[in-house]
């Protein structure tokens, strides 16, 4: 059955060739020779034969596709886009898409440089820039790119410590893109970008990191509180020095404090005590 399908285009080609040279009478002669009697071939039958031939010989490729043409098993190049004419049974065309392909890299188990087991997955964006290499140099460029992406992801992430893996994602993405692009260049593939999607940490490690972050926040809070006390003490020293230069300022501050106490709590009884009495007691103490 397959042999018959392959022979039909050749027979159609031969019939069209004879019709174009000798006219419809040539086909009538062939049928007499094969069947022993003549058959009239209406024009509609000839048109049907021509349509079948054109359908098997003419291909139309969209703008984002190229066709790699093999003639008797040997590649003759990539054609397209637009109208392409093939020789039936002799030419074979393989379609290749030039659009950007989004490849989801499966989750990989990675052991980092500091012996921490994590799960990492990524996404790779690439496109075919040389259709001939993509078909001739590798059996399945999609599968090959997926495998090299998984291997490179494990290798690059395994060279980093956990802290570097979490903080240097942009740098790791660039390294992944460079390595994968170098490996797939021989297949006619250009890697546009590689992005780490998710890094899954063990549950006990997540709890330890949470405790570490909480301790770090407490340390910062204590440092801020201590700095506030230090600044307040500095301001008090400056205020004391300023008041010591003007004794009357102490009296004014004393009266202002009495006013504030009276406003906040009217039940409090305040007995003003002159500051001069304190100086008097101090002088008496010094004479003794």
Distance CA 109, CA 121 (A): 9
Of 97, 113, 128, which one is at a domain's C-terminal end? 97
In a domain, residue 24? The reply is: yes
- CA 58 distance to own-chain centroid: 39
Of 179, 205, 231, which one is at a domain's C-terminal end? 205
In a domain, residue 217? The reply is: no
In a domain, residue 212? The reply is: no
Question: What pLDDT, on the 0 to 100 scale, is given for residue 87?
Answer: 83
Torsion, CA 219, CA 223, CA 225, CA 226, rounded to 10: 140
Structural domain range at position 270 = 243-288
Q: Along the 288 residues of the chain, how does pLDDT read in single tens digits?
A: 444 455 555 555 666 665 555 555 555 555 555 454 444 445 566 666 666 776 778 888 999 999 999 998 899 999 989 888 888 778 899 999 999 999 999 999 898 888 888 999 999 999 999 999 999 999 999 999 999 999 999 999 989 888 888 888 999 999 999 999 999 999 999 999 999 988 888 777 767 777 777 788 888 888 998 888 888 888 878 877 777 777 677 667 767 776 776 666 566 666 666 666 666 666 766 666
CB 174 within 8 A of CB 110: no
- Structurally, how many domains does the chain consist of? 3
Of 82, 97, 112, which one is at a domain's C-terminal end? 97
105 in the same domain as 91: no
Question: What pLDDT, on the 0 to 100 scale, is given for residue 190?
Answer: 95
Question: What pLDDT, on the 0 to 100 scale, is given for residue 94?
Answer: 93
Which domain CATH number covers 196? 3.30.479.30
CB 69 within 8 A of CB 36: no
Distance CA 126, CA 73 (A): 28
CB 194 within 8 A of CB 182: no
186 in the same domain as 274: no
78 in the same domain as 53: yes
pTM of the entire structure? 0.62
**If DSSP states are collapsed to H, E and C, what string results for the chain?**
CHHHHHHHHHHHHHHHHHHHHHCHHHHHHHHHHHHCCCCCCCHHHHHHHHHHHHHHHEEEECCCEEEEEEECCEEEEEECCEEEECCCCCEEEEEEECCCEEEEEEEEEEECCCCCEEEEEEEEEEEECCHHHHHHCCCCHHHHHHHHHHHHHHHHHHCCCHHHHHHCHHHHHHHHHHHHHHHHHHHCEEEEEEEEEEEECCHHHHHHHHHHHHHHHHHHHHHHHHHHHHHHHHHHHHHHHHHHHCHHHHHHHHHHHHHHHHHHCCCCCCCCCCHHHHHHHHHHHHHC
In a domain, residue 211? The reply is: no
In a domain, residue 237? The reply is: no
150 in the same domain as 108: yes
């Amino acid at each position: 059955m397959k042999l018959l399908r392959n022979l039909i285009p050749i027979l159609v080609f031969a019939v069209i060739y004879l019709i174009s040279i000798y006219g419809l009478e040539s086909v009538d002669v062939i049928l007499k020779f094969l069947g022993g009697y003549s058959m009239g071939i209406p024009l509609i039958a000839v048109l049907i034969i021509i349509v079948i031939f054109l359908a098997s010989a003419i291909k139309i490729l969209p703008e984002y596709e190229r066709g790699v043409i093999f003639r008797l098993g040997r590649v003759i190049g990539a054609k397209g886009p637009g109208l392409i004419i093939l020789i039936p049974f002799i030419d074979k065309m393989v379609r290749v898409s030039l659009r950007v392909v989004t490849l989801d890299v499966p989750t990989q188990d990675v052991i980092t440089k500091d012996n921490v087991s994590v799960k990492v997955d990524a996404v790779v964006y690439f496109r075919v820039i040389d259709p001939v290499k993509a078909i001739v140099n590798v059996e399945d460029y999609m599968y090959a790119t997926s495998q090299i992406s998984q291997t490179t992801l494990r290798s690059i992430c395994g060279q980093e410590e956990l802290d570097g893996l979490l903080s240097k994602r942009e740098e790791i993405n660039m390294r992944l893109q460079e390595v994968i692009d170098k490996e797939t260049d021989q297949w006619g593939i250009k890697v546009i970008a590689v992005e780490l999607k998710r890094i899954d940490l063990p549950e006990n490690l997540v709890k330890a990191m949470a405790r570490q972050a909480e301790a770090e926040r407490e340390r910062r809070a204590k440092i801020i509180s201590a700095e506030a006390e230090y600044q307040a003490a500095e301001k008090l020293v400056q205020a004391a020095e300023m008041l010591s230069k003007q004794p009357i300022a102490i009296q004014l501050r004393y009266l202002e404090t009495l006013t504030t106490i009276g406003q906040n709590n009217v039940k409090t009884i305040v007995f003003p005590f002159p500051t001069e009495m304190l100086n008097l007691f101090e002088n008496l103490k010094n004479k003794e």
